[in-house]
Amino acid sequence: MSEQDIQDEIMLHIGARPYLRVWRQNVGTARSMDGKRVVAFGIKGAADLSGILACGTRLELEVKAKKGRMREAQKSFRAMILRFGGLYFVARSTEEADLALESHLGSCKVCRSLSTPSV
């Protein structure tokens, strides 16, 4: 399965959770429509998926294929997110994304209260 396939699957799998908003984070360069300029966008090393949890915590998910490795810029971005209190996970499947989110739910009353259906 390609990294893009895994990413799409994770977005569909976690995207509707009531305690989380998540979006695709694009990083790169593109030519302007007139072809005269090159425009850079995003933050070098940023995770593939970015989001925010109901408790206000920033979430970053770097999606990797089975043998994919993090680049130095990605490691630096991860260190910055963690230094400022955000969550950063590498996920190679929907199961790994689930485990990452479950670990947060175990310690966060706000997100946990929104994750369970009210009776």
Encode pLDDT of 30-66 as tens digits: 999 999 999 999 999 999 999 999 999 999 999 999 8
Could you tell me the residue ranges of all domains in the chain? 3-115
Give this prediction's pTM: 0.87
CATH class of residue range 3-115: alpha beta
pLDDT band with cut points at 50, 70 and 90 for residue 116: confident
* Of the candidates 61, 45, 41, the residue with the CA atom closest to the CA atom of residue 53: 61
CA distance 74 to 79: 9
Please determine, for residue 117, whether its predicted confidence score (pLDDT) is greater than 80. Answer: no
